Amino acid sequence: LSEIRGADIGKRAAAEEAVRLVADGMTLGLGTGSTVAFVLDALARRIRAEGLKLKGVPTSERTAAKAADLGIPLTDLDRVFELDLAIDGADEVEEGSLCLIKGHGGALLREKIVATAARRFVVVVDDSKIVARLGSHMSVPVEVVRFAHVATARRLERLAGPAVLRRGQDGAPYVTDNGNFIYDLGNPGVTAVPIPDPAALACALVRIVGVVESGLFTGGVERAIVGAADGSVRTLERLRA
Ligand code: A5P
């Protein structure tokens, strides 16, 4: 198995396990990313096979488009205020606390709003995403309003080290579904400094004027379903805050 294929097998295995938690009549938060794409496929299969009546709230335009293509009925949080279950991917999952880094797919703000509206929040990942300490491999995405974003980035740098404006493949700044920019904080590929207190950093980040939200998710994850390259699945529970 190539490495990429192995990760895909793990993602699909985790996704299919998570979709077993879905019951008829549920309202669902639908995350964003390649692992969630497998969730949507599995959900569509269950809708077709079992005639489940479900409604999903997508966390991105990308997820909304794929769900609509697959025939998954959609709604929004202006109509449904509380969701039974949200399923989403992550970029890093800290073992024990189940704190997350999210947003490398650019959807962190809607993902956090949807996760917060859900009674149960389940994360699906392949095993490469599990770390002992958050920030071991990945930078922390922060969504920032465009107005005065360079000044906001300076404040981010004073708090947390290098802040790099995310760019698309065309070299232009990446713009989120909400019309904002993203700065990626820290340089884990080079410095790999784990975050000592993710909850404290998350609070400090959103106190900076101009910051909309950070990709640090601290608390609220019920379980992480982790798929391996051999197709096996294990479940991590939260052991500490
Ligand atoms: C989207 O903004 C992210 O939070 C995704 O959940 C994350 O990037 C995981 O994506 P993959 O499932 O593609 O790894």
Cβ(134) – ligand 1 distance below 6 Å: no
Phi, psi of 183 (to 5 degrees): -105, 135
Segments in the chain below pLDDT 50: none
Cβ(6) – ligand 1 distance below 6 Å: no
pLDDT of res. 152: 98
What does the block give as tokens for 137? 């491999």
pLDDT of res. 48: 97
Catalytic residue among 17, 92, 94, 111: 111
Please indicate, yes or no, whether the overall pTM of this predicted structure exceeds 0.75.
yes
What does the block give as tokens for 214? 């950070």
pLDDT of res. 5: 78
Catalytic-residue membership of 50 = no
pLDDT of res. 240: 72
DSSP 8-state assignment for residue 238? P
Phi, psi of 27 (to 5 degrees): -100, 135
pLDDT of res. 125: 98
pLDDT of res. 189: 55
> Which amino acid is located at 36 in the chain?
V
